[in-house]
């Protein structure tokens, strides 16, 4: 893996894809600077080497049109404060004005380009747009972890125009090291906990981890596709009938590979998808019509706890209940406590996915 450490940026202009897709309030103030803070070490490395940084990012979903509400101009002062350098700004990401701004950029300076997604060519991964972007720097650095999986012009496609002069930023490198600690060098037992709404959105993860894990803990909405496939009654719970075959295949593959699968045994069922619904604890495979499972039940949590506390490596993706509603957040909070305890006992734990990270922040498990 080629990282920043392998490159000397002295006298070079680094074109850095950052993820500055930050939340703004009604007055366009940045309300959470985490993503800017996360990119800071990469930007500082370039400057400390004696180089200049050209930053490119998207903000929101302007869908190929100029939209002043989604201008990166709103965040210039915040980025300047965080980096400690007055950031320059140019009102496009390609074109003559940009070329002039880039060629006038002095070493030690930082230039922020306007929202990439003002051009629809960004998300379609257009080659000539990517080539135009590539002219904004001598070396390409990708540090936009949140968008690195997309074949967009500023990520995958632009990299082609830097055959050798490219690398990962610190943030991306750290994420890759972390996932390798689970997928390649994880101390056994390795446990993956998969929750969230649907089997269909997690299927590629499941297929990829079956060769790597000892335990697969399944929770959340995807539970019911497995339970119904095995012949249980799931009432009105979220269920993908067209994925039941797939669920059975996963269970069979897991068995062949010696992976122990832990499904919920009981759930907190509700008579409505609402925080104020009536609730009862029922067996996972005996949910009546008119009821839906919205959180893990107490016996399930006990079972999950014992698996998690004996694990040395833990990967968590997806809440085990509808944690956005207070009355159905208890399972996800409990799971956070178990992972916390295992981590304090020496396990390595990695949490991924927007909802899971939101839950980790919301319930105070970030440290
Ligand atoms: P994902 O993005 O696939 O990780 O799914 C996260 C979403 O799954 C969250 O919004 C949760 O509210 C939802 N979820 C978790 N458990 C359930 C459930 N039992 N029924 C419906 N939605 C659920």
The closest residue, in CA terms, to atom 6 on ligand 1 is 196
- Return the CATH number of the domain spanning residue range 4-173: 3.40.50.1260
pLDDT in tens, 95-118: 999 999 999 999 999 999 999 999
Is the pLDDT at 332 greater than 90? The verdict is: yes
Residue range 28-67, pLDDT digits in tens: 999 999 899 999 999 999 999 999 999 999 999 999 999 9
Q: Where does the pLDDT of residue 366 fall: very low under 50, low under 70, confident under 90, or very high at 90 and above?
A: confident
Using CB atoms within 10 Å of the CB of residue 288, give its burial: 0 to 12 exposed, 13 to 18 middle, 19+ buried.
middle
Parallel/antiparallel/unpaired status of strands 348-351 and 313-317: parallel
Residue 201 above 90 pLDDT? no
Q: Which atom of ligand 1 is the closest one to the Cα of 353?
A: 4
pTM, entire model: 0.83
What are the residue ranges spanned by the domains of the chain? 4-173, 186-362
Per-residue CA distances from 52 to 4, 46, 49, 351 (Å):
14, 7, 9, 33
Nearest to 36 by CA among 143, 148, 159, 176: 143
Residue nearest to ligand 1 atom 17, measured at CA: 221
pLDDT number for residue 238: 97
**Nearest CA, atom 10, ligand 1:** 322
CATH number of the 186-362 domain = 3.40.50.1260
Q: Is the CB of residue 81 below 6 angstroms from any atom belonging to ligand 1?
A: no
- pLDDT band per the 50, 70, 90 thresholds, residue 8: very high
Residues above pLDDT 90, as percent of the chain: 89
Cβ–ligand 1 distance for 335 under 6 Å, the answer no
Question: Under a CB-based contact definition with an 8 Å cutoff, are residues 322 and 295 in contact?
Answer: yes
Ligand 1, from 194, 263, 322: best to mutate by most atoms within 8 Å of Cβ? 322
Ligand 1 in reach of 239 Cβ (< 6 A): no
With a 6 A CB cut-off, is 264 part of the ligand 1 pocket? Answer: no
Q: Does the fold of domain 186-362 match that of domain 4-173?
A: yes
Query: In this structure, what token pair is assigned to residue 170?
Result: 């610190």
Residue in 203, 279, 355, 360 to alter for ligand 1 test, most ligand atoms within 8 A of Cβ: 355
Residue nearest to atom 11 of ligand 1 (CA): 322
In contact, 292 and 269? CB cutoff 8 Å: yes
């Amino acid at each position: 893996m080629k990282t920043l450490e392998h490159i000397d940026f002295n006298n070079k202009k680094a074109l850095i894809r950052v993820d500055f897709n930050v939340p703004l309030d009604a007055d366009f103030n940045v309300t959470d600077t985490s993503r800017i803070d996360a990119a800071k070490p990469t930007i500082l490395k370039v400057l400390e080497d004696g180089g200049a940084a050209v930053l490119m990012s998207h903000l929101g979903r302007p869908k190929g049109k100029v939209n002043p509400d989604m201008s990166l101009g709103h965040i210039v002062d915040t980025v300047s404060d965080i980096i400690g350098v007055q950031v320059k700004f140019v009102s496009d990401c390609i074109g003559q004005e940009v070329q002039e701004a880039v060629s006038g950029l002095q070493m030690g300076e930082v230039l922020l380009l306007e929202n990439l997604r003002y051009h629809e060519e960004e998300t379609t991964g257009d080659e000539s747009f990517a080539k135009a972007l590539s002219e904004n720097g001598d070396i390409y650095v990708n540090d936009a972890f949140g968008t690195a999986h997309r074949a967009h012009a500023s990520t995958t496609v632009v990299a082609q125009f830097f055959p050798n002069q490219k690398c990962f930023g610190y943030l991306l490198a750290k994420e890759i090291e972390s996932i390798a600690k689970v997928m390649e060098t994880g101390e056994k037992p390795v446990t993956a906990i998969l929750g969230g709404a649907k089997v269909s959105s997690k299927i590629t993860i499941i297929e990829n981890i079956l060769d790597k894990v000892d335990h697969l803990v399944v929770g959340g909405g995807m539970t019911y596709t497995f339970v119904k496939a095995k012949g249980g009654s799931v009432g009105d719970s979220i269920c993908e009938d067209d994925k039941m075959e797939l669920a059975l295949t996963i269970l069979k593959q897991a068995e062949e590979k010696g992976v122990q699968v832990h499904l919920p045994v009981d759930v907190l069922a509700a008579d409505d998808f609402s925080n104020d619904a009536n609730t009862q604890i029922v067996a996972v495979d005996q949910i009546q019509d008119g009821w839906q499972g919205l959180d893990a039940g107490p016996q399930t949590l006990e079972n999950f706890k014992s698996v998690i506390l004996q694990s040395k490596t833990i990967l968590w993706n997806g809440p085990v209940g509808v944690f956005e509603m207070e009355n159905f957040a208890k399972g996800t909070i409990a799971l956070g406590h178990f992972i916390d305890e295992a981590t304090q006992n020496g396990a390595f734990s990695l949490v991924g996915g927007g909802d899971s990270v939101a839950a980790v922040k919301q319930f105070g498990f970030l440290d």
